Amino acid sequence: MINLNSKNLAINGAAPLRTKNWKDNFTIQEAEKKAVLRVLDSGYLSLFEGSHTPDYPFKFTGGPEVMALEEEWCRFYNIKYSVSMNSATSGLFASIGALEIGFGDEVIVSPFTMTACAMAPLIYGAIPVFADIEIETGCLEPSSIERLVTKKTKAILIVHQFGFPANMDEIMKIAKKYDLKVIEDCAQAHGATYKNKYVGTFGDIGIFSLNVNKTIQSGEGAVCVTSNKELEYRLQLIRNHGEAVVGPAKYENITNIAGFNYRMTEVTAAIAREQLKKLNDLNDYRLELVAVFRDKLAQFDFLRVLKGRTEKNIDTNPTFYVVPIRFFRNKAGISREKFVEAINADGALFSQGYTKPLYYQPVYQKKRLFKNGYPFSAKENIDSNFNYFEGSCPNAETLHFEQIIINEHIRPPQNKEDINDLINIIEKICLN
């Protein structure tokens, strides 16, 4: 049991064990600088136009840097088609639109993730239904998904949370059984694999984020992947003012083809191309740091890094976007809040909780997004499954409110000495 009364602890006024700042996710080097200058020297920061231009295809699909990034992304992930976006949120919205989901439909989503995953169906008038998560991965639990399938269910939007691959075998079985579309949010899972296949390439559409916090980044940006030619074109239409394109292009299926601008700039694409070259090295280094931390953390029975996939004969490669740890109060003898306060006072940098289950947000509690309560109040959605009550996803609530603590700095440019500092801080708290 931990006792926090010692005068040796920084929480009680002693000098902290670590005073050095933690380094942010800086992965930009000379190669990216040269790439940006290459674009600036060309004079073309973007070549997109919202028009049907068969004689000048780049005006619809993007300039040379954008097209090169998409080609290189296809080669890396061994996928047929890639479509860049200006953010993963845009990619999520475009994916719902491309799959023709809308009023009267339900999409099963995770409550334990970034808000855009649940907002994407709502934007098109569909209803997000929250399935529970696996407590050792943070990913959607297949049995919880299947319990929620109704005649209105049209898709499953899964998240490879923290870089842990979701249980794709079982999820794809459910999708096939009920004829459901599958969208994979891979924002935190660049390079993660399930059965030696990259996540993002199992379902209908996968989305990878290039936000500044991600393993590889270009400030903002994203890439959607698919094996379906029709979906590639629909994603491109939604990305680039498709309503102005479908007429001249004689494209008949105009459902959900609204005039958004989700286009990526040439500068963003040039940076992303250089970052993609570094992905394997960045992942390898990150996993090396995680291994050191996890091995040394094993001495503390009240803390445990989430286990990830444990099924037999399922070879997976998680990438640990962050390091999520379960805190067991009954073994520690103090609250999670006091423990995090104590280690942070001594120079660690942990946070408690992750994402409050999304159904706690006002938009779901009040069932109102647009005027007159739409889309919740729409006649097509009146009998939808609004499972937005406390206790609907117990695993997600347990992790967020009781157990999980997060460290975002077990990654480059930190080193093993930094990881040892974290362990030494925890040891100091325990020994006192």
CA distances from 291 to 52, 137, 232, 305, 309 (A): 51, 17, 38, 10, 16
pLDDT band at 417 (very low <50, low <70, confident <90, very high): very high
Those residues with Cβ within 8 angstroms of residue 368's Cβ, 6 or more apart along the chain or in another chain: 376, 377
Whether 203 and 183 have beta carbons less than 8 Å apart is answered as yes
CA-closest candidate to residue 132, choices 392, 309, 359, 390: 392
For the ranges 2-6, 209-213, 258-262, the maximum mean pLDDT occurs at: 209-213
Helix (H, G, I), strand (E, B) or coil at 287: helix
CA distances from 40 to 45, 87, 126 (A): 7, 22, 42
pTM for the model stands at: 0.96
pLDDT in tens, 236-289: 999 999 999 999 999 999 999 998 999 999 999 999 999 999 999 999 999 999
Q: Side by side, which strands form the sheet with 303-305?
A: 303-305, 323-327, 404-407, 351-352
pLDDT in tens, 324-350: 999 999 999 999 999 999 999 999 999
pLDDT band at 220 (very low <50, low <70, confident <90, very high): very high
pLDDT band at 314 (very low <50, low <70, confident <90, very high): confident
> What does the pLDDT average to over 32-47?
97
pLDDT reading at 432 higher than 80: no
Domains of the chain: 30-275 (3.40.640.10)
Number of Cβ within 10 Å of residue 412's Cβ equals 19
Tell me phi and psi for residue 303, to 5 degrees: -130, 140
Separation CA 98–CA 220 (nearest Å): 22
CA-closest candidate to residue 169, choices 319, 307, 316, 308: 316
Instruction: Provide the token pair at 49.
Output: 């136009």
Separation CA 315–CA 317 (nearest Å): 7
pLDDT reading at 313 higher than 90: no
CA-closest candidate to residue 67, choices 90, 83, 85: 83
Those residues with Cβ within 8 angstroms of residue 402's Cβ, 6 or more apart along the chain or in another chain: 327, 329, 336
Strand 106-109 and strand 127-130: the pairing is parallel
Helix %, strand %, coil % for the chain, to 5? 40, 15, 45
